[in-house]
């Protein structure tokens, strides 16, 4: 964890279970995490949930972002029903944790190929677990922390309010993977 920014990861009872760390220099792995142990399994926790769980229940909805920084800037700016998936697609365990507080989820992952792919994988798990899902999006190259720094929390909350249905997002995503100008592409 040397020469890295440290992010403590807490469970819902405010107990620190592990750490994530982002490199300050190039040439090394960008992110590393505490090893998985009987106490800490990355796919069972959500970053910031210990801070957001009351607002998630009160608002009957949660906004899921991708990484630590995507949580750290919007949350203190007033988006208090926000959690981060710890940089991966959501797991069944993470979705079941959310479901104890709400069935309404708005996904907002980074507007890049990795973010869209992780979101597409997460959507399937959310639907299988009976969640009501919407998808908010930012312009290519933007992520929640850079968006809030540039445009502010109110503009970010407006993006969340403009979230599209799961079906519309999924159809658009699948169509982007095919050549829809051909009959075969449209059929696929």
Q: How confident is the model at residue 74 (pLDDT cuts 50, 70, 90)?
A: very high
Tokens of 43: 């796919």
**In sequence order, which residues have a C-beta less than 8 Å from that of residue 68 and are 6 or more positions away?**
7, 20, 22, 47, 84, 87
**Residue listed under structure tokens 């988006």:** 79
E strands present in the chain: 4-10, 16-23, 31-33, 62-65, 82-84, 104-107, 132-135, 164-165
Q: How confident is the model at residue 141 (pLDDT cuts 50, 70, 90)?
A: confident
What does the pLDDT average to over 143-154? Answer: 91
Q: Is 116 helix (H, G, I), strand (E, B) or coil?
A: helix
Query: Is 176 a residue whose pLDDT tops 90?
Result: no
Q: How confident is the model at residue 123 (pLDDT cuts 50, 70, 90)?
A: confident
d(CA 103, CA 112): 26
Q: How many residues are present in the chain? A: 188
Q: Give the pLDDT confidence of 88-97 residue by residue, as tens digits.
A: 779 999 999 9
Beta carbons of 127 and 105 less than 8 angstroms apart: no
Q: How confident is the model at residue 76 (pLDDT cuts 50, 70, 90)?
A: very high
The pTM of the full predicted model, rounded to 2 decimals, is 0.88
Beta carbons of 107 and 84 less than 8 angstroms apart: no
d(CA 135, CA 166): 6
Q: In 22-39, which positions are buried (b, 16+ CB within 10 angstroms) versus exposed (e)?
A: eeeeeeeeeeebbeeeee
The DSSP letter of residue 34 is: P
Q: How large is the angle between the packed helices 166-176 and 113-128, nearest 10 degrees?
A: 140
Q: Give the pLDDT confidence of 23-68 residue by residue, as tens digits.
A: 999 999 999 999 999 989 988 999 999 999 999 999 999 999 988 9
**pLDDT score for 120:** 76
């Amino acid at each position: 964890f040397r020469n890295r920014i440290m992010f403590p990861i807490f469970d819902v009872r405010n107990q620190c279970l592990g750490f994530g760390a982002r490199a300050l220099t190039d040439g090394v792995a960008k992110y590393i995490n505490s090893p998985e142990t009987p106490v800490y399994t990355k796919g069972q926790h959500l970053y910031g949930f210990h801070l957001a769980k009351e607002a998630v229940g009160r608002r009957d909805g949660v906004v899921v972002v991708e990484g630590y920084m995507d949580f750290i800037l919007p949350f203190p700016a007033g988006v208090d029903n926000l959690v981060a998936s710890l940089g991966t697609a959501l797991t069944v365990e993470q979705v079941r944790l959310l479901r104890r507080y709400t069935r309404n989820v708005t996904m907002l992952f980074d507007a890049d190929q990795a973010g869209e792919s992780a979101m597409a994988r997460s959507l399937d798990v959310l639907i299988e677990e009976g969640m009501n899902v919407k998808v908010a999006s930012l312009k290519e190259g933007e992520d929640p922390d850079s968006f809030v720094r540039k445009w502010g929390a109110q503009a970010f909350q407006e993006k969340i309010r403009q979230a599209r249905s799961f079906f519309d997002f999924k159809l658009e995503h699948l169509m982007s993977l095919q050549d829809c100008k051909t009959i075969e592409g449209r059929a696929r």
